[in-house]
Amino acid sequence: MTNRVQDAIRNTENVVIVGGGLTGLFCALKLAPHPVTLIAAAPLGQGASTAWAQGGIAAAVGDGDSPEAHAADTVAVGGGIVDEAVALGLAREAPARIRDLLRYGVPFDRDLEGRLAVGQEAAHSARRIVHVRGDMAGQAIVAALTEAVRGTPSIRVIEGYNAEALLTEDNAVTGLQLRKAHDAAARPVIVASRAVVLATGGIGHLYAVTTNPKEASGLGLAIAARAGAVIADPEFVQFHPTAIMVGRDPAPLATEALRGEGATLVNGKGERFMPARHPLAELAPRDIVARGVFAEITAGRGAFLDARDALGARFAEKFPTVHASCLASGIDPAKQPIPVAPAAHYHMGGIAVDARGRSSIDGLWAGGEVSSTGAHGANRLASNSLLEAVVYAARIAEDIAGRAISPPARMPAASPVSRNATLPALSEKNLRAMMTSHVGVIRDGDRLAEAVRAFAKLERAADSLALRNMATTALLVAASAWARRESRGAHDRSDYTGENPALAHRTMTTLAAANGVAASLTDHAPAKPAQPNLTVPA
Ligand SMILES: Cc1cc2nc3c(=O)[nH]c(=O)nc-3n(C[C@H](O)[C@H](O)[C@H](O)COP(=O)(O)OP(=O)(O)OC[C@H]3O[C@@H](n4cnc5c(N)ncnc54)[C@H](O)[C@@H]3O)c2cc1C
């Protein structure tokens, strides 16, 4: 164990931030000089979706654009359940947070007159994506913020440790249980704190086909849920329509901006299939494009992104990351269509938080993809997630800085680890396969019920806390997907097509409610819809 980790255990920290992506790094910087311990499962710069973001950040900074137009676009794609005040708040704070990032050294692209250059992405009514060297936004953001964090003496960084349990007493945070990552023999480490910020990212890696790093396995959401936090909208998972299918896990991404530049989607016969599905064709909302791609693949025709006419020889210069991913797999995208498929990409659901990032547990804040603010509804507008991460990271820092946080009176006790002798048949690999096949792009009640039963069983029986946490999040997603008997945004039920106006509201649920759904779905019980717990966080 390193000295830094020993120090963290000895000193009961005021503020502990879990996660080294945009949310965690930015929140730590905004809290300086307030002492902060930042814990990340992987070395900073690795294991975070932020570093892989290609498009950029949505912000109404271009001529003729406005926060109101940005918010209206956000609401329009969200399937009727976006919280409009939240969307407007995000859009209004975007320019200020972009200025912050510039100050921390993020080299956003500029036009010839020195103004921020803005790109176009699907379902945005204006060019409003600020970017870095074409598709390098995420890498540049993480590099600049990591350097700033490493140069800030009030931030102590602990890398290579997983938060595996959130410790609470009377619905208030008392600390975290950590364990060294990738070390099966490692013992748990307890950090005491009354202020914990979860910034652990998404859940994509719970799926077999995903664009997310393996650290995005829903662990942050799971530990909050296991401590009793209210979870919002877990059923809404966005599938990116154009993951590059070259047998890699995670699958590299062909950014939406390629379609913004005119690349088209074609099947194996070279026919465009999106114009028949939506007036905006390839620039339709993500869920519609993902279903179009899924349908071509399911019908055996295959799906490809064709940038030969739109970009041709300019491909390498405009999209260096995608170009490199293609070349590494023997595809020259200037001359060949790129094979693509939908992949789990972004989680609209998460720990329910209010406008300050506070969860339903006292002393627990959540920001970025692990949280659910109401900004995305049933379907996220492209490039709004980095925006949400940076806006809420700043709000959380402001909220924490304004509160007196006393250290816990005593060291919290470790979380009990399940010691079931029988190893569950459903391994991590099986769990991921089941999420893709049963809780994927197109869902139905029977397969969802099967998934709920399997995940609930694993949640009870898993011997390892890591696997158990994965099962917790998988169960929440599957149970809420089963309970939502309609199709809305990214949640598509083949047995309940179309929206049901009576269900035009967000889901607010808990792990106990998800287990209640599982209990109602015993093998012989009739599949009755369970009403998720509608407790709203304080
Ligand atoms: C390929 C790709 C491209 C994308 N492109 C864009 C884009 O162009 N624009 C946009 O707005 N969004 C984009 N997104 C989405 C966006 O990148 C993410 O939603 C956003 O970066 C999330 O930031 P975050 O800080 O919440 O989480 P992350 O950046 O994922 O960081 C999470 C951190 O938590 C750590 N962690 C996780 N679990 C634990 C644990 N149990 N204990 C300790 N540490 C833990 C991780 O190691 C990591 O450091 C993209 C996503 C992907 C995967």
**What is the Å distance from ligand 1's center to 522 Cα?**
36
Q: Which of 22, 49, 121, 158 to mutate to test the pocket of ligand 1 (most atoms within 8 A of CB)?
A: 49
Given this model, what pLDDT does residue 138 score?
96
DSSP string, 316-344: HHH-HHHHHHHHHTT--TTTSPEEEEEEE
Residue 126's alpha-carbon distances to 120, 137, 358, 516, in angstroms, are 7, 19, 32, 45
238: Cβ below 6 Å to ligand 1? no
State residue 401's pLDDT score: 94
Q: Please, are residues 244 and 324 in contact by the beta-carbon 8 Å criterion?
A: no
pLDDT the model gives residue 98: 97
Please report the atom of ligand 1 found closest to the CA of residue 24. Answer: 25
- The mean pLDDT value of the chain amounts to 91
Q: Over the stretch 445-474, which tens digit does the pLDDT of each residue have?
A: 999 999 999 999 999 888 788 889 999 999
For 336-348, give one letter per residue: b (16+ CB within 10 A) or e: ebbbbbbbbbbbb
SS3 467: helix
Closest residue by CA, ligand 1 atom 6: 53
From 50, 242, 384, the mutation candidate for ligand 1 (largest count of ligand atoms within 8 A of CB) is 50
In whole angstroms, how large is the CA radius of gyration of the chain? 22
Higher-confidence position of 285 and 167: 167
Burial class (CB in 10 A: 0-12, 13-18, 19+), 313: exposed
Three-class SS of residue 249? coil
Ligand 1 centroid distance, CA of 63 (Å):
30
* 8 Å CB contact between 166 and 176: yes
Does pLDDT of 369 surpass 80?
yes
| Residue 424, pLDDT above cutoff 50 | no
Quickly tell me which residue has 């969307």 as its tokens.
Answer: 87
Among 226, 319, 386, residue to substitute to test ligand 1 (most atoms within 8 Å of Cβ): 386
Confidence (pLDDT) at 350: 98
Q: Which of 16, 182, 191, 215 to mutate to test the pocket of ligand 1 (most atoms within 8 A of CB)?
A: 215
Residue 178 sits at φ, ψ, to 5 deg, of -115, 160
Q: Ligand 1 atom closest to Cα of 212?
A: 53
CA of 332 to the centre of ligand 1 (A): 28
pLDDT higher than 80, residue 324: yes
Nearest residue by C-alpha to atom 49 in ligand 1: 20
Strands (E), 181-274: 189-192, 196-198, 231-232, 237-244, 264-267
- Report whether residue 260 contacts ligand 1, using a CB cutoff of 6 Å: no
Express as a percent the part of the chain with pLDDT over 90. Answer: 79
Residue 428 has pLDDT above 60, yes or no: yes
Burial of 214 (0-12, 13-18, 19+ CB in 10 A): middle
Phi, psi of 496 (to 5 degrees): -140, 80
Q: How confident is the model over 474-528, as pLDDT tens digits?
A: 999 999 999 999 999 999 999 999 999 999 999 999 999 999 999 999 755 554 5
Expressed in angstroms and rounded, the spacing between residue 48 Cα and the centre of ligand 1 is: 5
Q: Which of 311, 173, 343 is nearest to 246 (CA)?
A: 343
How many other CB atoms are found less than 10 A from the CB of residue 6? 11
pLDDT at 536: 37
φ, ψ dihedrals at 463, nearest 5°: -80, -30
Range in 72-81, 355-364, 404-413 with the lowest mean pLDDT: 404-413
Instruction: Tell me the C-alpha distance between 151 and 306, whole Å.
Output: 44
Residue 28 pLDDT exceeds 50: yes
Q: What is the pLDDT of residue 426?
A: 53
335 is written with which tokens? 């001359």
Calculate how far, in angstroms, residue 253's C-alpha sits from the geometric centre of ligand 1. Answer: 14
In short, whether 371's Cβ falls inside 6 Å of ligand 1 is: no
Determine the pLDDT at residue 525: 52
Cβ–ligand 1 distance for 346 under 6 Å, the answer yes
Summarised one tens digit per residue, pLDDT across range 243-301 is 999 889 999 999 888 998 999 999 999 999 999 999 999 988 888 999 999 999 999 99
Give 13's pLDDT tier (boundaries 50, 70, 90). low
**286 among known catalytic residues:** yes
Q: Is 47 in the pocket of ligand 1 (CB under 6 A)?
A: yes
Q: What is the pLDDT of residue 284?
A: 87
Question: pLDDT tens-digit profile of 216-233?
Answer: 999 999 999 999 999 999
Beta strands 196-198 and 364-366, pairing class: parallel
Mean pLDDT, range 139-145, rounded to an integer = 98
Report the run of H or E that residue 441 belongs to, with start and end.
none
Residue with the nearest Cα to atom 37 of ligand 1? 200
How far does residue 390's CA lie from ligand 1's centre (Å)? Answer: 12
Q: What is the DSSP string of 268-287?
A: TTS-B-STTT-TTGGGS-HH
Q: Assess whether the C-beta atom of 55 lies below 6 angstroms from ligand 1.
A: yes
For residue 210, the model assigns a pLDDT of 97
Q: Identify whether the C-beta of residue 58 lies closer than 8 Å to the C-beta of residue 67.
A: no
Nearest Cα to Cα of residue 358 among 172, 506, 217: 172
Digit-coded pLDDT (tens) for 95-112: 999 999 999 999 999 998
Q: Among 97, 259, 286, 380, which one carries the catalytic annotation?
A: 286
Q: What is the mean pLDDT of residues 361-370?
A: 98
Q: How confident is the model at residue 2 (pLDDT cuts 50, 70, 90)?
A: low
Rounded distance from Cα 50 to ligand 1 centre (Å): 4
pLDDT, one tens digit per residue, over 17-27 is 999 999 999 99
> Chain-centre distance of CA 119, in angstroms?
22
pLDDT at 534 over 50: no
The mean-pLDDT minimum among 162-171, 214-223, 396-405, 520-529 falls in 520-529
Q: What integer pLDDT is reported at residue 423 of this predicted model?
A: 36
Instruction: Say whether 297 sits in a helix, a strand or coil.
Output: helix
Cα–Cα distance, 511 to 473 (Å, whole number) = 9
Atom 48 of ligand 1, residue of closest alpha carbon: 48
Say whether pLDDT at 538 is over 50. Answer: no
- Residue having the nearest C-alpha atom to atom 2 of ligand 1: 53
Question: 183 pLDDT exceeds 90?
Answer: no
Burial 465-499 (b: 16+ CB within 10 A, else e): bbbbbbbbbbbbbbbbbbbbebbbbbbbbeebeeb
End-to-end CA distance of the chain: 38
* Residues in CB range of 439: below 8 A, 6 or more apart: 237, 447, 448, 451, 474, 477, 478, 481
